[in-house]
Amino acid sequence: MMVFCDTGGLVAITLTFIDVQSVAAIILSGAPNSYARYPKWAHSFENSLSFEFKTKQSHGLLLYTDDGAVNGNFYSISISDGRIQLDFRLGDNLNDFGPQRLVNTIRIEEVRVDDNRWHSLALFQSWENVKLELDASLVFKILNQRSFIFGNILKNSDVFVGGVPQRLPVELFATTLVAGRYSNEMLI
């Protein structure tokens, strides 16, 4: 509610909030075009992101971002058979992988996430070290390559949570959209 008062040439505005509850989570239905979009990930030498989520689905996309098709780099965090899986590609042509560049996969087998309970997920990447943490389970991967560049902030895609726009040309391993709740925003 706004109240305007005549204060001799000055305008005073009073804002009154009545019974406003803060939003603690975003809710996604899993329908086409059901996703949250965050600004581009400013990728550097030490990178981390974390969020909490809950879902009943055993397959689906949790998070996706890419380098705008510059080097074919991407991060895709998905649920596969009720388990968290990170598929990603980093680097450029300085890596000697031949015509086909590697897609790295980290999967956490110890924890099922399709139980409609809150789970805490964190991804950390620093040079060749990649760490994926889900609740109390932790998996490390050391990359055997020379380049760890992700992309260019001007060309990278935004960060998509729970799905991607249908017009986005992505190479996804998990194309099912996730219905569920996300909280703590994205710490990127």
pLDDT at 11: 31
Residue 1 within any structural domain of the chain: no
- Residue that wins the pLDDT comparison between 139 and 6: 139
pLDDT at 179: 65
Residue 34 within any structural domain of the chain: yes
Model confidence at 45, pLDDT cuts 50, 70, 90, reads confident
Rounded CA separation 90/111 (Å)? 26
Rounded CA separation 118/135 (Å)? 9
| pLDDT at position 76 over 50 | yes
Residue 6 within any structural domain of the chain: no
Q: CATH code at 44?
A: 2.60.120.200
pLDDT at 107: 98
Q: What is the pLDDT of residues 97-154, one digit of tens each?
A: 666 778 999 999 999 999 999 999 999 999 999 999 999 999 999 998 888 889 889 9
DSSP secondary structure letters along 70-117: SS--EEEEEEETTEEEEEEE---TTS--TTS---EEEEE-S----SSS
Q: How many other CB atoms sit within 10 Å of the CB of residue 64?
A: 24
Residue 19 within any structural domain of the chain: no
pLDDT at 96: 66
Range name among 63-77, 109-123, 144-158, 163-177 with the lowest pLDDT average: 163-177
Q: Which residue range is the domain that position 163 belongs to?
A: 25-94+101-187
Number of domains in the chain: 1
Q: In Å, how far from its chain's centre is CA 110?
A: 21
